[in-house]
Structure 1
Amino acid sequence: MTSALVLIGGVSALYVVQFRNYLLFHGLVEVFSILVAFSVFILSWHAIEDIESPFIAVMGVSYLFIGGVDLLHTLAYKGMGVFPEAGADLPTQLWIFGRYVEAWSLLGAALLGFVAARRTSVDVQWDERTLSFLAAAYALVVGIGLSTVFVFDVFPTTYVEGSGLTSFKISSEYGIVGLLAITLALLYGFRERFATRVYQLLAASIVLTMGAELAFTFYVDVYGISNAVGHFFKMGSFYLVYLAVVKTGIRDPQKTLYREIARREAETRKFKRAADYSGHAIMITDAEGTIQYVNQSWEEMTGYSAAEATGRNPHILSSGEHDDRFYEEFWGTIQNGEVWEGEIINERKNGERFVISQTAAPIVDDDEEIQHFVAVNDDITEQKAYEAELENDLQRSVTQLQVLGRVLRHNIRNEMSVIIGNAETIAEDASDDVAQRASVIVDEGNRVLEHAEKQREIVELLLEPSNRRPLSLAEVIESVSEELQRRHPEAAIAVEEFEDVQVRTLPEIEQALTEVVENAIVHSDREHPAVTIAVWSVDGRVEVRVEDDGPGIPAAEQRVISEDADISALLHSSGMGLWLVDQIVAKSGGVLHFDDADPRGSVVTLALPRASAEKKHVVSPPR
């Protein structure tokens, strides 16, 4: 309220003064605007290290020279006596020149601010060196402009005694108004970079400046009312600049000089809150690996406070568990712009070791240059301990099962050997009826031994699986067909000609193929079973098809490879062999499936992943 009363009183006093002593009125108005201009420069220059707004930076430097030209204009004004022989044209020339400097400066500042607001890649450091270069450029331009007035006398005439303003002066005023209108539009385009009140004050200042320039197009007498109105507008314009930059810059610098810094600090506070509530331990370093930020979870996990960690290298957490190659691979990955994921054994401040699951990635600018690295960590120490305990329990269970399995199989073999031996003796010495029953005992005993052997193979496969590797399918099929032809000379095993391929599979695939072919021979109802092995390449996979002319595979045995298999089918049928085949094929990355042959029999297909094609190799049926 007091400020408003003082302002009203000052303007009223100036209004009265301009009627009684226009020269005094003019001097007071110009001195006020000059003081505001110099104040804007001084405030901006002393905030040089923290200014990030190009508009304020350019405006601050330009107002030093605008105030200087206005000072010359004031001293040259008619009646001041500093330039007694110059007349009214000199101050008018200086006025126009000063307004051109002001209009072009504001336009340039607004253009830089507009571009910077939309393109974060515009990265100008408004430090003392930059502003010194800018001030030197202004000094050069203003010096050349003043030399056209004072030295070379080539600046166009702006005022003629008795007739008033020249066309150059009037058209220049309109041109200046146009430049200011463009400035106002650009300023609106990045208004969000200012506090609302600061933007409103700057925009109103430009509007008043435009009004002043229009008023200065009408006067004939330099002491006339139009001239006075223009100066009132100018005083109002500079008063608004004073409120927007000088007063606000002193009382609340975050709204003007440090607006961008305040905005970034607000964003930083939001990020810190989000990081603290994320549940992850977060660390950010600069491009050299120096810690710049850690959140509360990181402090709790490591025992280091943010103050202790900031400025240091993450090596403070090194436990010595990882060698140089590990860290070289880590830094090489993220420095190449890639994301690194893995587990690290670190050491807390108190010396306690802990395990983290870490995801580390680079943070790049718009030019794809790495500026920071961020690491998101989770403490998995308890999880790893639990996994180790489970692993130990599992290993103990596996060992116990292996021992138990060996003992059971040993006992079964020994006891069944005794049973089979006695049954064979009985079959030889007893009557036909008893001998037949003894033969059944021998057959069932041998079947029990076969089951025990398959059980051993299954247990070994499950507990100690082999690694996949490329195998020649021709060699596998040739080995299987020759061996089974030797065991079962009554069977006709045919291998269709095919081009050899490499399959990436377990070595046990030969065992699986043997099981399928032998199962077809043993369970055939024909005197001379016929089995055909064919190989097909389908969509990057290799299919081995075993077709027989037997009675087909019972549905109960086929179901043992499905998830809803009846356990009795697995324990009490030859389906155990098919289940073993399915496990080998599945662990090889393949699929096992059954089809009916035409007109009778079964087709068992082992679909396996292909490795690479090899030279053609013809596999012939064994003789």
Structure 2
Amino acid sequence: MNSRAPRDDGSTTLQTILVRGDEALASAVRDALADRSRTIDVVVTGDSSPPSRPRPDCVVSRSRPQCGGSAITEAAVGSAAGDGGTEDASTDRLTPVVLYPERPADDLARQAANDATVRYVPESIDTDDHGLLADAIDASLSATPADSDRDRDAAGRDLLEATAELADVGGWAFDARTETLTWTAETYRLHGIDRSFEPTLEQAIECYHPADRAAVRTDIEAALEGERFDSTYRLVRADGEMRQVRSRGRPVVAAGEVVGVRGAFQDVTDRKRPEAAARRFKRAVEAAGHAIFITDRTGTIEYVNPAFEDVTGYAPEEVIGEDPSLLKSGEMDQAYYADLWSTILSGEVWSEPILNERKSGEHYHASETIAPITGDDGTVEGFVAIQTDITEQVHTRERLETFREIANRLEDPIMLQDCDGNFEVVNDAVVEYAGLPRSDLIGDDEFAFMDPTTARAVDDRKREVLESERSIDYEITPTFPTKGQRSFVTTRYPLYDEDDEIDGMVAICRDITDRAEREHQLRVLDRILRHNLYNKMNLILGHAELLEDRTSGEARHSAQQIRSAGADLVELADKERRIVDLLTDETECQDLSLQSVVEDVVADLEAEYPDREVAVECSEPFVVSAIPEIRDAIAELVENAFIHAGDDVDVTVRVGREDDRVVVTVSDTGSGIPEMEQRAAQGPGDITPLFHGSGLGLQFVYHVAKRSNGSVRFESPGGVDAAAGDDGDTVDAADDAAAATGGVVSLSLPTADSGDDPA
């Protein structure tokens, strides 16, 4: 079937139609043009076959011609996929293309919207005699370069309208020569603007979000320079609603020059929302502190987040392509993994603790959740696993269980409390004293069962431990609902976690109610005996003085002996009182300047003993932590040197530093301190027939040192020492020969900033 079109000179020209790889389509083309007044030659060619004839006048194709570099492909669509027609170098004309798919196709419709040389007619909307196909071919064959330039805007409008109807995509065209902008009906609808409005290019740009306008201008300018663009912007509709739109544009070329830009315009808000949600989800996964990894159905790892390396020690490149078995510790049995796989392959979620192994070989505990990833048909396609490292919590729980087991074996109340003072662990003794179930005590504090006054006092002690991070000892006498008033001595310690951060407290209480009652009775008895002793001794001393005044010779000497012994006995009772008061009072340590203390003591003793002098060597204040009785203890040591040294001796008090301790040394050049008194000053010991009370003064010194977390050490020029420490242990005493050449007593005390607790 040949039909010739008349030339301008009256002759006819043979026109070639190239049909790409489809004989049935070629037959349809021949039938459609049978009654048209054209001389045509329909050629059927495959995508990769070179043309056997000169350049065709039109190309008809079911699909978008693919870019393969062949002459046919170049003749059909140019040098890039989707470019539409190509420019004819000899005639400055693009070869037209008719796209004739069996049914509507969005991508082909968009191509037609972007290129005036491409016509798009789905066969499903054509007539039985292929009338629309024949019209499209006729229009393509009839166009001349001048026609294309003159009718470009009209054709563009027709194609853009077809695009909007067939693909739900808006179209636009900008003519740079007339600076006119054309929108399709769909583009107007997407903007929310009435079609009576004829926008300029600048007005159209103003419809976008202010932050995106510069990008729109840049894309248009690039297209006018011959480049294509495909961008997404935020469009602000006339009603104020913001939508995500995708705009694609390509330059329009005429006679070798860019004369405008055409493009497609589509609302992609609904598509972008899931994309944005996916991006947010990915950011959340990347930032998560949990190890997250994704596998395929067989368990092969396809993705791990950054926290995976933090938890396991494996970098992504070390595990992607592997399976999670490289994390096995060997501690989980096969039944565990069989149950795991059975659960997740059935589409259920698995959530159980697991013991895994890091790259370093260290085991770690994890709380693991594995969820299946299913396709649209419900088939399991892969899995996502989330692991939370709970190693520290497991170890803490194990320590608590160990503590609970040990604590419950002890009869004394023992408790573990957090930094808020709430019970985390209590043993059976605490439950018994509180008179409440263990479950009621956990998470509560002492106010649940103690009288408010004592509970507040305990709160103060807890705060002191947390602030000072030091253990403390204290006594309390709370009243319980079931046991009444009881007395306790409590030691409270700070508790630290694995990072050496304070994490709570442990308190160990000893019920001393019976002991406290006995001590109370002994104090009462001591006061009674001392009162009677003073009264009786005053009577004895008064009568001895009368006898001394009224007698002479042997009788007078006996009266003097009575007075001397009585005075010693009164002094002994006074020393005993000081020790009892020291042991029974709750005196707190204070920061004291030893320089001031020593100077005051020496000044008072020199006033009492005007014929004695004491050399003092103390170059700085030397602030120590000690109880106020330290002054009496130093005075006791200096006075003891006066008594045992004789008349013609030198006494020296030196204060110096040894490591984190301050040492007060009292030395003399006399006969030294008797061994019996040294032993008496070394703490409690057996009372033998040889023991007597002459060492009570040094015992007082010992107890002051102990209460101040210090120690007493006896030395001699011979270098043999006897020490009484803050724990009461002693070392061999100096022998008699060494003691006879002089004595040295050293009192060691903690500095104010040493952090030592009182014993």
What TM-score, normalized by structure 2, do the two folds share?
Answer: 0.38
Greater Cα radius of gyration, structure 1 or 2 = 2
Name the one with the larger helix percent.
1
Higher RCO (Cα < 8 Å, 6 or more apart) = 1
What TM-score, normalized by structure 1, do the two folds share?
Answer: 0.45
Name the one with the larger strand percent.
2
